[in-house]
Amino acid sequence: MKLTLDIGVGRDFSGEEISVLDRALRRVIPELVGWSYSPLTGELTLDFGDVDENVVLVRIEDYKAKVKAVKVLRFEFMELVKEW
């Protein structure tokens, strides 16, 4: 289950900064399995693995605030997609 947020087109991260970002994300979102970020599109995708989609759906605004996102873009569960 994946939630994609727009955090703005930003600068690229060095390898060390990626480690720092990874720790910061996992500190505020302990249930996070993985993430990806494209400096080209500004899209941050949070991967929650195979958890109950309702658990993530009710917390979308919380996740948006935690990563200081501009906008929620997409929620993907299996091959179903909800777009904003």
Partner 1 sequence: MVRLTPALTSRKILNIAYAAPQETLLATPVTLPTAEPSVPQIGYTVETADLPAFNMGVYRKIFVAMVFGAGKATTAGTVYWRMKKNGVSVATGSGAVAANAFFTVNAYFYNVSIGDLLELALWSNRTDTVWDYKAYNVQVTRLILMNKPRLLQPCNFTSVGSGPILVLGSPSVYGVGPIRVYHVDVVLPTITSVANYEIIYPKDSFGMFRIAYGDFSYANSGTLLTSSSSRPIHYRNYFPLQIVMRGVRGVVEP
Chain positions contacting partner 1, by CB under 8 A? 2, 4, 12-16, 18-19, 22, 32-41, 43, 45, 47, 74, 76, 78-79, 81
Burial of residue 53 (CB within 10 Å: 0-12, 13-18, 19+) is: middle
- Give the shortest CB-8-to-partner 1 separation in angstroms: 15
> Cα 40 vs. chain centroid, distance in angstroms?
16
- Give the shortest CB-67-to-partner 1 separation in angstroms: 14
- Give the shortest CB-28-to-partner 1 separation in angstroms: 15
At 81, give phi and psi (nearest 5°).
-135, 130
